[in-house]
Structure 1
Amino acid sequence: MQILTEALILLIAGSFVGTLSGLLGIGGGLIIVPLLTYLLIHFHQVAFDQAMLMAIGTSLASIIFTGGVSSFFHTKQNNMSWSTAAHYIPGVFLGSLAMAFIIPHLNIAFIKHAFIAYTFLAAYEIFKSPKIKSLVQLPSFIFANLYGFIIGSVSTIIGIGGGTMFVPYFIYHKVNPRLAVGLSSSLGVFIGLGASFGFIKNGLYVNQLPQFSVGYIYLPGLIFMTASSLIFVRLATKWIHQISVSSLKKIFAYLLILIGLSMLFTG
């Protein structure tokens, strides 16, 4: 009964994660991390610190699949520019890889509050962003990778795919919101790849982790959430064309405010 209950919770969570990934270009880590932390503590009696690390590691691993499928369908829907994404991929990958090795020794209180401030600032920038243009206005390759490194690092600490930072960033640079969502999905894959390697390596020799774990990645959580999320990713990438650009901007801005408030009053 416990196994079935856990599986059902993970499947339902995955459906929400897939919708967020396809519709808004975010990996769903802000749902996965608190939920999976609770499940690991409640069902498997994992210590809080280890449960948090496993939740973050599993969340980032899931983004490889949800982000990959999301970016595939966004490419088919012409919501993707791989030449643009290529400017950010090296920095994103290196930032997430480096931070995955640092995070077990890190105090994240300051970063948490900095991220909260960022969500409110990003929401404000989206509400007042200038007229949307089809042309992508990129910084230089060096600055793009520097920004990618920062986002990859911060995303790894929080356990997210970077969409809450990449989407506002691209919209601020006059990128169409639908294209911004596609770009964010693709870059989330490389955050997941870099971070997963580090979380697996860090947790390989840690004792008292639950069964079916590979390092700090909890395989049942990864499998069940990914299975349902991939279905909803495909649906959401179709729904995105039924929503106006103005509405999509507002939805994302309100989501950022809710995320900021939830983090502010949690912990």
Structure 2
Amino acid sequence: MVYLTYLVLGAAAGFLAGLFGIGGGLIIVAVLVMAFTALGFSPDVLVHLAVGTSLATIIPTSLSSSLAHHKKQAVKWGWVKFITLGLGVGALIGAWTASLLSGLALQAIIGVFVMLVSIQMVLKFQPKPKEGEPASLVLTTAGGVIGWASTIFGIGGGTLSVPFLIWCNAPMRQAVGTSAALGFPIALFGTLGYLWAGWQHSSLPELATGYIYWPALIGISLASVPFARVGAKLAHFLPELLLKRLFALLLFLVGLKLLLF
């Protein structure tokens, strides 16, 4: 039954990541925290395992989603190059930062962040686009901040990168597509960071390497890749307003659950 949960979670997360460019990792982290708690994992490592595993699942999802957006010419690869320079460093520092936090502290931080994201989606706050193209230094610096925060929260970065890309004067669809492409380096470097941070931790369960739990990673990845393609295709045709409001409500409840767990 637990393995079926991983497959269903992967399908939902992949679809949401492809459709909105955000959100898949937030759902994965929250559900994995609950699943790992039910499995009796040590409180010392279960939240870190949820975050690290979430980042690892984003690797195949982001590849699938970014390819689908690339085919529709919705990825600004010139920007991706400079932002990625900062993402790698930021993601590794983020994994190290998370390793310094207790499980309860990390869970509370994630819960607050998820609720703030849901509120932002309802209020539809977006920065006003700046004039002109962003400088390469601005892109790289922003990449470092986005990589650091995304790795702490176990997300692909769309929650942060989409508003930044809109501020950089990218059209909405290109902001979503470029964000999907940025999910890959965030996930890759973040996963490596969590592998290193949790290496040979005394409280790790069987079938875990560092802060990566392989049964959850495999189950979620198998389902997330094909559903990310579906979500990315629908993003170019489907009205988003009602879906975003429902998704915002779901995120708020998930964040509240994490805070009260």
TM norm. shorter chain > 0.5: yes
Q: Deviations over 1:92-122 (max 9, x none)?
A: 1110111112212135556864775566457
Cα distance change of structure 1 residues 48 and 61 upon mapping to structure 2, 3 Å threshold: same
More off after superposition, 93-102 vs 114-123: 114-123
Match of 1:263 in 2: 255
Match of 1:66 in 2: 61
Match of 1:19 in 2: 15
Structure 2 distance, partners of 1:90, 1:47, is 35
Q: CA deviation at 1:259?
A: 3.1
Cα distance change of structure 1 residues 52 and 199 upon mapping to structure 2, 3 Å threshold: same
Q: Secondary structure at the match of 1:206?
A: coil
1:84 aligns with 2:79: yes
Match of 1:7 in 2: 3
Q: Secondary structure at the match of 2:82?
A: coil
Q: Is the 8 A contact 1:136 1:175 kept in 2?
A: no
Structure 1 distance, partners of 2:109, 2:29, is 19
Letter in 1 for 2:60: F
Q: Secondary structure at the match of 1:86?
A: helix
Alignment root-mean-square deviation, CA: 2.7
Under a length normalisation based on structure 2, what TM-score does the superposition of the two structures give? Answer: 0.86
Task: Mark the runs of 5 or more structure 1 residues left unpaired by the alignment.
Answer: none
Q: CA deviation at 1:77?
A: 1.7
1:204 aligns with 2:196: no
Counterpart mapping for 1:71-150 below 5 A: 71-106=66-101, 107-108=105-106, 113=112, 116-117=115-116, 120-121=119-120, 124=123, 126=125, 137-150=132-145
Counterpart mapping for 1:123-202 below 5 A: 124=123, 126=125, 137-202=132-197
Q: Is the 8 A contact 1:123 1:254 kept in 2?
A: no
Task: Mark the runs of 5 or more structure 2 residues left unpaired by the alignment.
Answer: none
Cα distance change of structure 1 residues 225 and 115 upon mapping to structure 2, 3 Å threshold: closer
Q: Is the 8 A contact 1:161 1:192 kept in 2?
A: yes
More off after superposition, 187-196 vs 102-111: 102-111
Cα distance change of structure 1 residues 138 and 266 upon mapping to structure 2, 3 Å threshold: farther
Match of 1:222 in 2: 217
Q: Secondary structure at the match of 1:87?
A: helix
Q: Secondary structure at the match of 1:90?
A: helix
Cα distance change of structure 1 residues 122 and 146 upon mapping to structure 2, 3 Å threshold: farther
- Percent identity between the aligned chains? 33
Q: Secondary structure at the match of 1:229?
A: helix
Under a length normalisation based on structure 1, what TM-score does the superposition of the two structures give? Answer: 0.84
Q: For 2:233, which of 238, 241, 253 is the aligned residue?
A: 238
Structure 2 distance, partners of 1:194, 1:128, is 28
